[in-house]
A = this chain, B = another copy of it.
Amino acid sequence: MKSASRVIDAIHFLRDHPGASLGEIADVLRVHKSSASRLMRTIEQQGWAARDEAGLTYHMGPTLISIGRAAVDQFLRSDRLLPILESLRDISGESVHLALFDHYEMLHVMRVDSPDVIRVSCPVGTWDPLHCTALGKAFLASLPDEERRRLVLGLKPERRTPNTITDRKVLLAELEATHARGYAIDREEGRVGVRCIALALVDAQGRSVGAISITGPAFRWTQRAMDRVIDDILAAADRGMRAAGYAGLTPRRAARSRV
């Protein structure tokens, strides 16, 4: 099924290279210019690509906006992720959240609450910033270097608590550490009294989609408490993500989970 892949490859290329020319597209797809011309015309007619006035450069078409919207909807209705959240809650005893990257923030879309009377829970549908949450840091850390830098340099890391990282350079270093560690930690950086760890959610093609966080009150969800369960959490998350058709943890993270 070669030609089907070509359509998808073309859209992916347009995503990463807005304003590409026909020649570039033909080059990347390894086809003749004439074939690329015919292909792009078809895609354009379907509204999945658009050209500038001159007809020389291609962009993603507006119809893809509604595609993405529907994809988020169906993603949420899918019940394949809930078991992951539940298993992480059972292991940790704390609330578990799933958030997607959306408009430069993390959008909370799914939640499983801690059974404890004292618990932390963020309403579904609300947004959290990237720089001061474990969710955001896990997501950022999972991105390719270039994209991560672009995002970090584009945001304004405003102070939320005394622990908030407000310097972009420090944040980038923290993201390096997060990447090496395999999971993100929020040490009361977004809200006083709240601590989280979070794991990036990466699809089978390696694209970062969002993150899953385990959130608890700082007096209980201490470093020691995290250390006690982190191996189980990493193992369970890796299993669950793979079972749900995602990439699972990266080799480095998986290595740690094998300890």
Contact = CB atoms under 8 A, between A and B. Distances in A.
Interface residues of A, number: 57
A147 to B, nearest CB: 11
Interface string A25-43: 0000000000000110111
A125 B100 CA distance: 17
> Copies per complex?
2
Contacts of A207: 47, 62-63, 66
Given A4-B42, A204-B47, A205-B47, A69 B66 contact: no
Interface string A181-193: 0000000000000
Interface stretch (A52-60, A113-121, A221-229): A52-60
Q: What are the nearest 10 A-B pairs in CB distance?
A: A68-B68, A1-B42, A64-B71, A15-B70, A47-B205, A60-B71, A3-B3, A4-B42, A62-B203, A8-B46
25 contacts: A3-B4, A4-B7, A4-B42, A4-B43, A7-B7, A15-B66, A15-B70, A18-B74, A18-B77, A47-B205, A52-B80, A53-B80, A59-B74, A59-B78, A60-B67, A61-B71, A63-B203, A63-B205, A64-B67, A66-B68, A66-B207, A68-B68, A68-B69, A69-B101, A69-B102
Given A47-B204, A68-B71, 9 more contacts: A3-B3, A12-B67, A18-B74, A46-B205, A62-B245, A63-B207, A64-B71, A65-B72, A66-B207
